[in-house]
Structure 1
Amino acid sequence: MTAAPTNDAPTVAVFRPDDDRLEQAVALLTNLGAEPVPDPMLAVEPTGASPRTDADYVVFTSKTGAEIVSESGWETGAETVCAIGPATADALREEGYPVDLVPEEYTSSGLVSALAGHVDGERVEVARSDHGSEVLIDGLVTAGAYVHETVLYRLVRPDGTGIAAEMAAAERLDAACFTSSLTVEHFLEAAAERGISEGALAGLDAATVGVIGEPTAETAAEHGIDVDLVASEATFERLAAETVDVATPTDGE
């Protein structure tokens, strides 16, 4: 359920990696009138791998992937470069790569829909983390593509995380913004390490829970977390704005 926050500036947990994404998320939430609770649930460990160079299409699913391939010295050729959404596309362009395709829906299923009529018999390279959705691979294979996946980086939970779980268990968290299934799982792992799993779940039940994408919503539901909203667009900006809007009390509350 959704409960009104305990003060005029709702406390909102954000779980983005501890780099410029977390800084930007904190700044955005502050500008939206919230009190951010930064609790990074993801850390990036590059694998040293690079995308194959013989593909007809190369698909990137994150800003992190764009930055890592640039650091590895990967160069484009005649392939079609695809980005899952505008943030990934912008990151690729900032690293000097062309972007040929961004789907209308910024999800794995959106990418499949955008590519389905073009990849039959083509070689598609998917360059991403070790926790990528099977929806993308399965969908491309069904569309007739020869798919190869390169794991560019692993996503792990940093040490010392869990302040948001503690605040939820203490009923001091008004909202949480989950950006992936893995952030949900890591939040729950942090709660379990502290022996406050039941309290943290109860705290989320009394808060506004916003997520990006149906897969994240499904993961949350599987773990007993009630999701109040799925962002209308798969961007953190939209997730933050919509979550704060729901979590902020209106006149009379």
Structure 2
Amino acid sequence: MPSLAGRRILVTRAIESAGNLSESLRALGAEPVEVPLLGFSLPEDPSYLLECLRRLRSYDWLIFTSATAVRMFFHAAQLHRISLTDIPGRIAAVGPATARQVVNEGWKVDFIPEKYVAENLVAGFPEEVKGKRLLLARSALARDVIPSAFRAAGAVVDAPEAYRNVLPENAPEALKQALAKPLNAATFTSSSSVTHLAEAANKANIPFPLAGVPAISIGPITTQTLQENNWPPAAEAHPHDIPGLVAAVEHVLTRT
């Protein structure tokens, strides 16, 4: 019998990125319950982002911290008819999923940190950045860890908002439907998925945290957000990626 047979697992990723996690859970016999809590839109004022896109060749490094940042970066360029045929000097991605999205867009990645968190991207950067020009495409909610550290090391950093996280309108109703039957675990792949679940629960008049449902976190920042919301995770993924998250779910739900 598959290790997660019959287990209902809440998947909170954006609808366009939920498939990989859901497929992996389904392969172990689980029933992934998808409640997309993350929608994305371009910034209300994209002028800074567009300015950076137009002078892309001036940067020594382009840095992406999520696959969504990659998608929205290219979407903004396409929407405003800005050619991205001029690839910047080198490209860094915070993890393999982000790197795959870069490759899907036709570019190559020059650096991925050993551990897939922002602090390790900075600490393990492959060259001295003093005097270098860096472009960091990021979420409106992103922490300042990366730009602050690189500026402290002497780099010139542009860090435009590439996208905003928004709660999909149907999220509260989708959450109600998901809770019509008991859940065995809830997975979280970002801090925003935690805060958006809290927002959706509030709008749907559902107590939060979800009582009796173990939370599984993809990494330390998401774990911190869960703890701040009084829902300490039952496990954290190691490594901090989708296979690690699936392994953590399996560990929590099959341990004796």
With the shorter chain as reference, the TM-score category is: 0.7 to 0.9
Give 5+ residue unaligned stretches, structure 1.
1-6
Structure-2-length-normalised TM-score: 0.84
TM-score, normalization by structure 1: 0.85
Kindly indicate whether residue 21 of structure 2 is the aligned counterpart of residue 15 of structure 1: no
- 1:61, 1:211 → 2: CA distance? 18
2:135 corresponds, among 104, 121, 125, to 125
1:81 is aligned, of 80, 91, 96, to 91
Instruction: Give identity over the alignment, percent.
Output: 31
Indicate if the aligned counterparts of 1:13 and 1:176 stay in contact, CA closer than 8 A. Answer: yes
1:175 maps to 2:185: yes
Comparing 224-233 with 142-151, which one deviates more in the overlay? 142-151
Which of 130-139 and 114-123 deviates more?
Answer: 114-123
One-letter amino acid of the counterpart of residue 9, structure 1: G
Of 103, 106, 109 in structure 2, the residue corresponding to residue 93 of structure 1 is 103
4+ aligned runs moved over 6 Å, structure 1:
167-171
The yes-or-no answer on 1:244 pairing with 2:244 is no
Moved more, 227-236 or 183-192: 227-236
Q: How far apart in 1 are the matches of 2:85 and 2:119?
A: 27
Extract unaligned runs of 5+ from structure 2.
78-82
**Aligned with residue 123 of structure 2, among 103, 113, 122:** 113
In the alignment, structure 1 residue 184 sits paired with structure 2 residue 198: no
Residue aligning to 2:151: 141
Aligned to 1:196: 206
- The structure showing larger relative contact order (alpha-carbon pairs under 8 Å, at least 6 residues apart) is 1
Q: Deviations over 1:5-57 (max 9, x none)?
A: xx9522111111112x2223222211122111100010111345344422211
The amino acid across from 2:12 in the alignment is F
Which stretch shifts more, 208-217 or 158-167? 158-167
- SS of 2:40's partner is strand
